[in-house]
Each structure stands twice: as C-alpha cells, then as structure tokens.
Amino acid sequence: MIHARIRSALLLLALASTAADTRAIDGVVVIGHTNIKRLDAPTLARIYTGRVIEVDGVAVTAINANAGSEVRTRFLQMFLNQDEDKYTAYWTVRRYIGKGASPREMGKSSDVIRFVTSTPGAIGYIDAADLQPGLNVLLR
Amino acid sequence: MIDLGPPSFLCCRRIFTTMKAASFKTGTCVRLRSLSWLFSLSLSISACVVSLEVEAADYSISGYGTLGFAQTDKPYAYQRFVDDAGTFRRDSIAGVQIDAVFDGQIGATAQLRLSPASDNDAKYRATLAWAFLSYRPENDWLFRVGRQRIPLYLYSQNFDVGATYDFARLPTEMYSISPNNEMDGVSFSRTWSRADDEVVLDGFWGRSKSDVRIWLRDGIAGVQNAGSMFRRLEADGGGIALSYRQSDSTFRMSVSRVAIGERGGNSSIPTTFPFVSIAPGVGFYQVDPSLPGPGIPTIRKFDFTTLTLGANVNIGSDYRIISEFARTNVPETALSTQSTRGYASILKRIDKWTQYVTIAFLKSQSAPLDLHASVASTVVPPFVPNAALINAAQRIGADQVLAFDQRSLAIGTSYALSPTSKLKAELMHVRIGQVSSLVDAPPGSNIRNQGINVISLSYSVVF
C-alpha cells in the first residue's frame, strides 16, 4: 500500500516535471515574416550568431528582445544553449573583429510582431502568451 | 598605427556624418587628396551608395577603452614607454566604432582610435583604424574594400580591444611583427560550414604605411641626436589565412608576403654595412655614406615574408591553451626583422576569474644578430683620425639594426566585472640575451643579459 502511494507520488512528480518542461519549451515562440518557411534550431542559432544571413535565398533580419529580459534569457537558453553573459561576450568579440553588430533589440512583443509582419525576411521571438492567430510560427 | 593627415579626418567626418543620418540624400562624392586609391575607392563606393538614397536598415555605435598602467624595475624604457617611473601610455587606448548595414548584404564599418602616435613618443593621436565597406552576397562569402586589419594573428582584429581577451597585454614578442597592422586594400573570406565545425579561408591584398621606431642610445653632437627616430615605410602585398574552428577551439595559419620600401622620395634601404679595414685587425663598418668606404649597398624595396601558426584550444575543465608562432623571412637585408617568435599560454577559468601563465620568445636570425654584434663591438684606436666620431657612428649604426633576442615569462589574471568589462593584472619577467630593439638601451651602455620585471594593471571596457 505504502509502495503504491510512493509510486503514485513519484508518477505525479514526474508528470508535473514533464508539464513544467513543456511549459518552458512552449514559453518562447519564434515567428517570422510570411516569406520565411519553418526553421530548424541549428539554422536559427546560426542566424542569431550572425553566421547565416539568408535562408532559402531570403535575406533574414533577426530581432532580439532587450538584453536581460526574461523572454530573451529563455530564448538563448532554449535555442542557443547560452546565457546572457556568453551571448553578449560573443557579439562583443564579433563586432570588434569586424563581423557586424548583434541583432537589433525591441522591448515589446507588439513591436516585434509589427516589425516581423511588415518586414520581409524578419525573424523574431515572443512569449508564447503573446502569440496571436495568423502569425507565421517558425519554431517553438 | 598610421600617420593620417587632414584628408583622413575628412573621411572620418564623412563616415560619421553619413552613418548618423537615418536616410541619406547626399549626391556629392567627397574629394580625397592623398590617401591611397583603394581607400578612395571604398569611400567613393560609399558615396555612391549614399547617393542612391539607400536607407541604412540598421546602424550602431560602440566604443572601447583600456586604462592601463605598467611599470618596470629599470630606469630605461621597455616597449617605448615603460620604465621604473610607471606609465599609462603603453597600454591605454580608446576607440569608437560605427557599423551600418544596408539591405542586409552591404555594410560599412569605421573605427576611430586614440593611441600613442606611431611617429612621436610624446603625442597621442587619433587615427582611422578601420574604414571599409563589406559585401556579403550569401552566407559563406564576405568581401571587403577599404582600410582593414591584416589577418596575421589570432587576435589581429581585436587586439586593441582588451575586454575581448584575458591577457593584460598580448605577448609583444609575437604581436610586434609590424608596427602597423592596418592596410588599405581588398579582402575576401570564404566559409565552409558543417554542423559542428567550419573552415574559413581569408585572402587580402593591400598597401600599408608604418613608422618603424629606432632607438639611438648615443648621438653625435651636431650630427645626430640620441633618442628615438622613425623610419617611414610603406608596404604592398597580400596573403592568405586558413582557419579551422570546431566547437570552442580555433586553429589557424597564414602566409603573407609584402614588398617594403621607404615612403616619400627615393627609397634607399641598406642591405648591410661593409667593413673598412685600416690596418690588420683594425677597421670599422661604413654605417653612413659620409664615412670612408666602398659605399653602402642599398635596395629600393625588400620582400618580407611571414608565416604564422596559431591555436586556441579548449582542453576541458575550463582550461584553455593559446599559442602562436611566427617566422619572418627577409633575405635581402640584414637590417630588418628576420626572426622567429611565439608564445604559449595556459589559461584556467574559475567563475569570473581567469588565470594564465605565458612564455614567449623572440629571436632574430643570425644575420641581423651577427651584424649588430659586430658593429656594436667595433672600436677603432685613438690614433686613427676622427676615432671618436667613427666609434660613435658604430654605435648608431648598430642601433639601426633591428635585432631581437629575448624571452619572457608572465603570470596574470583577469576578472570579468561584466561581459563587457575586465580588470587585469600581470607580472612578467623579461630576459634579454644579446640585444632587443624593444628596449631603449641607456646611453653608453647596452642591455645584454639583463632582466626586466614588468607589472601591469588595467581596466578594459566596451560599450
């Protein structure tokens, strides 16, 4: 009886953990202009590290959330496997080896959505809670 | 460091002005007076881009700076400025950079740097370190035209930006191949990417100007002052660099070849100093055309070939090994820097701290070292007419031979205050062998077999 309860408790814990993981993965949604098809995670990482500037012949313009914001922290962790310090340091070096500047930053999800929907080739990410119908979801 | 006249500042103002504007409606190309044709070309292209009323999709301004203090335990200067009085001049530097991107494929970058003048020990000077247009037609190709950095070293592009590496100072033994590391020219970069690694081939061709500093420990009254003098040189040529990057490690090699001559007027570079025998066992070197002798053989230009190897390897457990090696070959003159040089460092990161130990060496090949030793040790006896003058000329002649024989051991640490700022400290012991042109030898003396201890403290930031 006791063993059964323990098993049930562990199962519940496992399910709760899985649910929490799912929420974390769903926490950030990558959106893009309608002229961009779905992306895979490695390509997305290369875009946000400046190593890819076009996808399937379409020039891409990446948008970042503000440095230190929660959504950016989650994005970096999920898709680039980096933290803010490493990412900032990466772009600091990249800028000063003449390989360009980090993606432009926008503070609000509404600004990201407006820019992405109106700019061909634009890519951004938003909190899943801000996702609106009709947006072109590239990765989540 | 390049000696820029007013035209360069004109260019700089133009780039700053154009990049600050949100839209560009200028149709007049700036007339450039005396910069190299490639630099003119890049700015002309820039002006044309501007005249087409292309809007800058994005532009950004950033800056960097290092406030560095260094002090030795010797009264004479090491690396131009550092002596027992201490100085901020050796390591303090500041710069501002503008990056602009037009339509995703065309970009422009300009960097203005404030640092000690390359041709004057007393002055600071603002120089245009970078001013190039870049064109990236696809992910794997990058073309640049304009003033840019020569890709000689692992840290060629960012060695002015102390916040981007942990060393208090990049090893001078390695990073002193050329007094100037910028060129006006063209370059390409081709990348082959795979899932976990990439290969990059860089090629460049261009022209550069530099001021080679020579320290004369003794002068001749009314003829030549003691102290620093600067030889104005120009170089043109090119090279390639091949890099392999895997995960967090980089391996690279480069080969370059340039032709170097004096700029302005007729270039006349001595290849050696002929020995003039007066009597058995008595003689001197003709180090100046005014001294009697057969004449100093000269050439208009000489070839300077450089081979570099480098590696920056993550060996796990937050340990990293960084090492570079270079061989310079200058077969046509014994007065120039034909040498072997390099360093090896091991670094350990612990949270925000990074500790390192570096050993470095720089040794000229036998031709310049032997010529220096022979000329420096030549003394004619007093019975020879003008003996004092000839002997003083010998010391001046020896000092004009760029000869190096030194090694160093450094321990240091950096502390990352943030991703964009670092505090650094380093203790270094330099051991001089026969001679080193990195040291300002005291009057009437030499620095053979001397040791120099250097302490360095610095704060570096980018913003």
pLDDT tens track for B424-458: 999 999 999 999 999 999 998 889 999 999 999 99
CA angle A106–A110–A113, rounded 5-degree value: 85
Question: Of B58, B1, B324, which Cα lies nearest the Cα of A104?
Answer: B58
Please name the residue that has the structure tokens 């090491």: B78
Is residue B1 assigned to a domain?
Answer: no
B134 vs B340: CA distance, rounded Å: 34
B18 vs B42: CA distance, rounded Å: 14
B117 vs B125: CA distance, rounded Å: 5
Q: Determine which helix (DSSP H) or strand (DSSP E) holds B158, and give its type and residue range.
A: none
Q: What is the pLDDT of residue B267?
A: 80
Question: Of B444, B375, B433, which Cα lies nearest the Cα of B405?
Answer: B433
Is residue B201 assigned to a domain?
Answer: yes
Please name the residue that has the structure tokens 């422009």: B108
Is residue B381 assigned to a domain?
Answer: yes
Please indicate if any CB of chain B lies within 8 Å of the CB of A80. no
Number of domains in chain B: 1
pLDDT tens track for B193-237: 887 899 999 999 999 999 999 999 998 888 888 999 999 999 999
Report, in angstroms and rounded to the nearest whole number, the Rg of chain B calculated over CA atoms.
24
| Structure token digits, residue B139 | 């992910």
Question: Of B277, B281, B350, which Cα lies nearest the Cα of B317?
Answer: B350
In whole angstroms, how far apart are CA A64 and each of A81, A113, B103, B405? Answer: 16, 12, 18, 51
- On chain B, the residues whose CB falls within 8 A of the CB of A84 are 419
B297 vs B40: CA distance, rounded Å: 36
Domain range for B265 is 6-462
Q: What is the pLDDT of residue B47?
A: 44
| Structure token digits, residue B81 | 């400025």
DSSP SS3 for B16: helix
Q: What is the pLDDT of residue B45?
A: 41
DSSP SS3 for A18: helix
Please indicate if any CB of chain B lies within 8 Å of the CB of A92. yes
- Contact indicator for B37, B7 with CB cutoff of 8 Å: no
B247 vs B195: CA distance, rounded Å: 10
For residue B88, give the CATH number of its domain: 2.40.160.10
Is residue B110 assigned to a domain?
Answer: yes
Handedness of CA B431, B436, B441, B446 (dihedral sign): positive
Is residue B54 assigned to a domain?
Answer: yes
In A36-65, the residues whose Cβ lies within 8 Å of chain B are 42, 46, 51-54, 59-61
For B157, which of A52, A60, A98 is closest by C-beta distance? A98
Interface confidence: ipTM more than 0.85: no
Listed by start position, the domains of chain A span 29-139
Q: What is the pLDDT of residue B144?
A: 95
Is residue B266 assigned to a domain?
Answer: yes
Question: Of B361, B463, B454, which Cα lies nearest the Cα of B168?
Answer: B454
- The pTM is what? 0.83
Q: Does the pLDDT of residue B189 top 90, yes or no?
A: yes
Name the closest residue on chain A to residue B110, using Cα atoms.
Answer: A98
DSSP SS3 for A108: coil
- Under the banding of pLDDT at 50, 70 and 90, the label for residue A98 is confident
B425 vs B168: CA distance, rounded Å: 6
B461 vs B463: CA distance, rounded Å: 7
Q: What is the pLDDT of residue B190?
A: 96
B354 vs B179: CA distance, rounded Å: 29
Q: Does the pLDDT of residue B336 top 60, yes or no?
A: yes
User: What number does CATH give the domain A29-139?
Assistant: 3.40.190.10
Please indicate if any CB of chain A lies within 8 Å of the CB of B194. no
- On chain A, the residues whose CB falls within 8 A of the CB of B136 are 53
Picking from A52, A56, A92, A123 by the largest number of B CB atoms within 10 A of its own CB, the best residue to mutate is A92
Contacts 24+ apart (CB under 8 A), A48-51: A48/A79, A48/A80, A48/A103, A49/A80, A49/A90, A49/A94, A50/A91, A50/A94, A50/A99, A50/A100, A50/A102, A51/B139, A51/B191, A51/B193
Q: What is the pLDDT of residue A110?
A: 92
- On chain A, the residues whose CB falls within 8 A of the CB of B460 are none
CA atoms in the 13 A half-sphere facing the CB of B376: 24
Is residue B384 assigned to a domain?
Answer: yes
B318 vs B404: CA distance, rounded Å: 35
- Contact indicator for B235, B304 with CB cutoff of 8 Å: yes
